[in-house]
Amino acid sequence: MTNTSAFDAPLTIAPDAVLIVIDVQQGFEDEAFWGPRDNPEAELRIGELLDAWQRTDRPVVVVQHQGARSPLAPGTPGYELKPVVAGARADLYITKTVNSAFYGTPDLHAWLQERGATQLVTVGIMTNVCNETFRKAALGASLDAWQSPPCPDTPEAPRYA
């Protein structure tokens, strides 16, 4: 599987690469809390990538954020995964309360090490927060981490005067 970056340089996806799907949850539809999202096609693109990825039999990890004082609180409709992810096969589910899945449960880093995985591709909502934080932590752990080019999605923070 090969993808092209914004710089038109081919990105070769390793045979053991892992797709990390981050925070694709219903609660991000709450514009009053998060502000408007900037990619109305994010779920469509995430679904296309998930379908293509699963046809390769590469692993998929789904990450779900637990935000106690946000629309992502466990037990609320906003905590639930969006249908595009809820219906997909996942090899591992991670729950987290901070921005990086490396601090979630179960231990993602140990799981990746057990499989010898060194390349990660991320997709999800809040590209500028949880996705970026995750990729920075992955790079710090000597892992190769990429954001899938067609799938970024970042709610705009509400503006305060």
Domains and CATH numbers, the chain: 14-147 (3.40.50.850)
Indicate the DSSP class of residue 25. B
Other beta carbons within 10 angstroms of residue 158's beta carbon come to 11
Q: Closest Cα partner for 56 from 21, 20, 14?
A: 14
β-pairing verdict for 60-65 and 2-4 = unpaired
**Going residue by residue through the chain (161 aa), what tens digit of pLDDT does each one get?**
555 545 556 678 889 999 999 999 999 888 888 878 777 788 888 899 999 999 999 999 999 999 888 999 999 999 999 999 998 999 999 999 888 887 888 999 999 999 999 898 888 887 666 667 777 777 777 776 777 665 555 555 443 33
